[in-house]
Homo-oligomer: A and B are copies of this chain.
Amino acid sequence: MSTTEPSPASFHESMPFTRVLGAELAAAGPDEVRASLAWSEERCTSGGVLHGGALMALADSTGGMCAFANLPEGSTGTTTIESKTNFMRAVRSGHVEAVSRPIHVGRAVIVVETELRDADGRLVAKVTQSQLVMRG
């Protein structure tokens, strides 16, 4: 992300792929960014299971917004340098909600964790990302 403010209205505008993906932003602030993705057949891998890539794309979108919302003064943006996902449970219906929160806000690196839960609130995946703080 670079210069757009992280507001619900600007989710699809600032990150066009979230529109292709079908993700909807629910809340955005420095402490927490929430977005959801409905299950649909076209978002699946085989067996009617929501594609892991769709889950990771959802989490990368909320994670990037969360890092952006925590940028220190003087920085110009963030870029994801690494992302690690553990998958715990297949999603075959309903939706998934991603919630991103910062666990470390440093001068050079922001570490964001994202929990993805299904419609019953069960943890389906957990993501940890390092976001590099860019300057100049």
- Give the B-binding residues of A (Cβ under 8 A): 1-4, 14-21, 41-47, 51-54, 56-61, 64, 77, 79-90, 103-104, 106, 108-109, 111, 123, 126, 128, 130, 132
Contacts of A104 in B (CB 8 A): 86, 88-89, 123
Interface of chain A, main secondary structure: mixed
Distance between Cα atoms of A82 and B54 in the complex (Å): 14
Q: Which residues of B contact A90 (CB under 8 A)?
A: 79
B128 and A53 within 8 A (CB): no
Q: How far is the CA of A2 from the CA of B86 in the complex (A)?
A: 20
Across the interface, do A86 and B130 meet the contact criterion of CB distance under 8 Å? yes
Nearest-CB residue, chain B, relative to A56: B56
